[in-house]
Amino acid sequence: MMGSQEKHQENICEFSVESLLAEGRIPLDEVVDALFGENPHSSVLLASAFDPLPLRQKLTELGCQIIRVDTGRQGWLFCIKPGKFKDNASEEKGAGGKPDFYFTDGLLHMDVRRIDPPDDFLAILRFIDSSELDDTLCIILSSLPGRFLPLLKERGWSSEIISEEEEQIVLALEKGVS
């Protein structure tokens, strides 16, 4: 493995978790940028001396497909590909639902319309509190209670309603802007 330097072969990007961390780079951000950034790769090969479970969980939440191989003494090798996202219209709404994530023009979208309130808002708050996001996020909701926008502001997110139609509100969030 070439350290954290990207190696481009057949539109594949290779990283080492340990090298990224040593350089002060965040592995999740690097993988997401490689898969969904301006010049997306078809897949990422990620080498690691340990199994980075939180990283794998977050990538799975974003719809990525991950194949993991234990290479013995050398650690783990992960092949990560952007997955196919589900169409919300085909899913039943309910408290047990999960948000759908997708990227459009490099912007992460989180669709929580198939989750009943207040679980939809809790899913958004959990995601923004636990993620490494420090930029912008687009949220798609069915409704917007009055207390939700002040909660976002308390967490350091500014918000703007982009569109509001029947049972679909599109909300743009930006981190660190008052």
The answer, yes or no, to whether residue 55 has pLDDT greater than 60, is yes
Q: What is the CA radius of gyration of the chain?
A: 18
Residues 104-150 pLDDT 10s: 777 888 899 888 888 888 888 888 887 777 678 899 999 888 888 99
Instruction: Report how far residue 172's alpha carbon sits from residue 178's, in angstroms, rounded to the nearest whole number.
Output: 14
Share of the chain above pLDDT 70, in %: 85
State the pLDDT confidence band at 21, using cuts at 50, 70 and 90. very high
The predicted model scores a pTM of 0.51
The answer, yes or no, to whether residue 91 has pLDDT greater than 90, is no
Instruction: Report how far residue 63's alpha carbon sits from residue 60's, in angstroms, rounded to the nearest whole number.
Output: 5
Instruction: Report how far residue 74's alpha carbon sits from residue 96's, in angstroms, rounded to the nearest whole number.
Output: 39
The answer, yes or no, to whether residue 88 has pLDDT greater than 60, is no
The answer, yes or no, to whether residue 178 has pLDDT greater than 70, is no
